[in-house]
Amino acid sequence: MAFPLQGEDTCQHLLPTPLPNPYWVGFESNLAKELGITVDASGLPQDPRWLEVLSGIALETHEHTFADPIATVYSGHQFGIWAGQLGDGRAILLGDLRGYELQLKGSGITRYSRMGDGRAVLRSSIREFLCSEAMHALGVPTSRALAVTGSKKSVLRESLETAAVCTRLAPSFIRVGHFEHFAAARSTEHLTTMADYLLTHHYPECQGTDDPYLALFAAISERTAKLVAHWQAIGFCHGVLNSDNISILGLTIDYGPFGFLDRFQMDHICNHSDGQGRYAYQRQPQIMHWNMACLAGAMLPLIETRYGSELAQEHLQKTLEEFPEIYRAAWLKHFRTKLGLLTPNPDDTSLVESLLQLMHHNRVDFTNTFRALSHFDASHDARSNPLRDQFLNRDAFDTWMQSYVARLKEEKCSHAERQSHMLATNPKFVLRNYLAQIAIEKAQNDDFSEVKRLLAVLQDPFSEQPGLEEYAAPPPAALEHIEVSCSS
């Protein structure tokens, strides 16, 4: 088992609660092949027992046996407040499969469920399935999703819905919250075991340093800073950046009330449960930095063993202060590429920020704006650019374009070379909330064709895909303000 702690105080050994009369809602055949699962002509597993395994009914297929499923304990800060003990309240880790941990989300009550029913609903399971694979196709570090299985079993949220199980995978599901839990429990032994496991299996480059634990914290913080920079560059809002939702590997995990930006608003809130806007788009870098401060506090006992308390805090603080610099450099690198700027210039930050301000004030579509800029030829009159008509303040747009064209003329690459970089960076297709909602509503009526079709579109986000332009369109007015909550 990949999870390094197996005691009674760290996890619960239990069987999933079977999903009654399950059926396939979605299945990712390409990922299945990577995992050594043989698929048939329809793209589903050739071995029918996979349906039972991924629905919590069985633990064995012809080729694989999952002998010891577990749910793990962790703690964390939720919306900035210490929540104490949490844990896998509806996710059960089946075991390892070709370098991944395979986890069933929605597979029943565990001792960490608190007041929950241990189930996930069809709606949220489809969203996580589609977005995990969409993010992977966009090149964003993420957990993966192999399948969604559904059932007619009723579960109560704001209304009566049906249950589902989402099968998700990651090299490890260890979170910041795991470290916080064992730090709160004053278990330096468990902290050490977990850190040593990460050093051996996921951060081997830190092992030969002067202080491997401090190097481990620095590496985790660096990955996290680069992750959130990537989110900002594609207009992705996570929605619930609680410390228990933060991967120790710098992956995007726990897809809940997420959303991709349509009309760009810097202060966009994608989670209607987030009344104060703690996790708004523009605050994501700050919040992830805050989560790294939580991790620093949890890892302090490990660093103290070498330096003592005061010096350990100084070293961690110094490392924490590097987060904004790493983030800013990664953010600027992403946006330079999005604008086709292949050589650095000191004025690029101002150019990017002024564009984002212009987009914010004119409420233009985030994804489509950058995609349209990818097709812009600097040798043509900028005033003839169709993108100009998307901006209410055309004078302001013209002024920015003058600066942009002047900057492009400093580049030595050809238009074709620049366009190639931009089109490979600025996606045409992202998982817009309204597209997910259309697929969900069809699936709720037992039509899973749109889940399959939308997945195929999202797996090739940078190509033009002629004939599928509807999937690149901004939401119609009636679907522009879909609200997503933590309830799933």
Q: Is residue 182 part of a domain?
A: yes
The predicted structure's pLDDT at residue 195? 98
**Structural contact between residues 149 and 24, judged by C-beta atoms closer than 8 angstroms:** yes
Q: Are residues 229 and 356 in the same domain?
A: no
Q: Name the domain boundary from 295, 330, 365.
A: 330
Whole-number mean pLDDT of the chain?
95
117 is in an annotated binding site: yes
The predicted structure's pLDDT at residue 377? 86
Cα distance between residue 112 and residue 71, in whole Å: 8
The predicted structure's pLDDT at residue 275? 86
Kind of pairing between the strands at 11-13 and 70-72: antiparallel
Tokens found for residue 86 = 């949490």
The predicted structure's pLDDT at residue 378? 80
* Locus of tokens 């604008």: 339
Task: Categorize the per-residue pLDDT at 486 as very low, low, confident or very high, splitting at 50, 70 and 90.
Answer: low
Find the mean pLDDT for residues 275-295. 96
Q: Is residue 265 part of a domain?
A: yes
Q: Are residues 164 and 264 in the same domain?
A: no
SS percent in the chain: helix, strand, coil, step 5: 45, 15, 40
Long-range CB contacts (within 8 A, 24+) of 153-159: 153/19, 153/20, 153/119, 155/117, 155/119, 155/121, 156/117, 157/121, 157/487, 157/488, 158/485, 158/487
Cα distance between residue 60 and residue 38, in whole Å: 15
Task: Categorize the per-residue pLDDT at 488 as very low, low, confident or very high, splitting at 50, 70 and 90.
Answer: low
Q: Name the domain boundary from 112, 137, 170.
A: 170
Residue type, 327: Y
DSSP SS3 for 236:
strand
The predicted structure's pLDDT at residue 478? 83
* Phi, psi angle pair for 307, to nearest 5°: -110, -15
pLDDT in tens, 457-471: 999 999 999 999 999
DSSP SS3 for 365:
strand
pLDDT tops 80 at residue 382: no
pTM for this structure?
0.96
Answer yes or no: 210 catalytic: no
Kind of pairing between the strands at 236-237 and 120-121: unpaired
The predicted structure's pLDDT at residue 487? 64
**Structural contact between residues 461 and 134, judged by C-beta atoms closer than 8 angstroms:** yes
> In which domain, by residue range, is 140 found?
11-170
Q: Percentage of the chain surpassing pLDDT 90?
A: 90
Q: Are residues 345 and 291 in the same domain?
A: no
DSSP SS3 for 78:
strand
The predicted structure's pLDDT at residue 1? 53
388 is in an annotated binding site: no
Q: Is residue 443 part of a domain?
A: no
Q: Which helix (H) or strand (E) holds 259?
A: strand 259-260
pLDDT in tens, 103-127: 999 999 999 999 899 999 999 999 9
108 is in an annotated binding site: no
The predicted structure's pLDDT at residue 281? 97
Cα distance between residue 213 and residue 242, in whole Å: 23
DSSP SS3 for 111:
coil
Q: Name the domain boundary from 170, 204, 235.
A: 170
Number of domains present in the structure of the chain: 3
Q: Are residues 237 and 114 in the same domain?
A: no
Q: Is residue 38 part of a domain?
A: yes
Q: Are residues 32 and 67 in the same domain?
A: yes
List the catalytic residue out of 40, 88, 244, 365.
244
Secondary structure in 3-state letters for 153-179 = EEEECCCEEEEEEEEEEECCCCEHHHH
43 is in an annotated binding site: no
Q: Is residue 442 part of a domain?
A: no
175 is in an annotated binding site: yes
DSSP annotation of 94 reads: E
pLDDT tops 80 at residue 427: yes
Q: Are residues 320 and 346 in the same domain?
A: no
* Locus of tokens 């599928």: 468
Q: Are residues 218 and 251 in the same domain?
A: yes
DSSP for 378-424, written as a single string? TTS-GGG-GGGGG-S-HHHHHHHHHHHHHHHTT--S-HHHHHHHHHT
Q: Are residues 74 and 211 in the same domain?
A: no
pLDDT in tens, 432-484: 999 999 999 999 999 999 999 999 999 999 999 999 999 999 999 888 877 77
90 is in an annotated binding site: yes
The predicted structure's pLDDT at residue 150? 98
pLDDT tops 70 at residue 28: yes
Q: Is residue 335 part of a domain?
A: no
Long-range CB contacts (within 8 A, 24+) of 289-294: 289/225, 289/320, 289/323, 289/324, 289/327, 290/80, 291/77, 291/176, 291/224, 291/241, 291/243, 291/246, 292/220, 292/221, 292/224, 292/225, 292/320, 292/323, 293/320, 294/76, 294/77, 294/176, 294/180, 294/243
pLDDT in tens, 179-221: 999 999 999 999 999 999 999 999 999 998 999 999 999 999 9
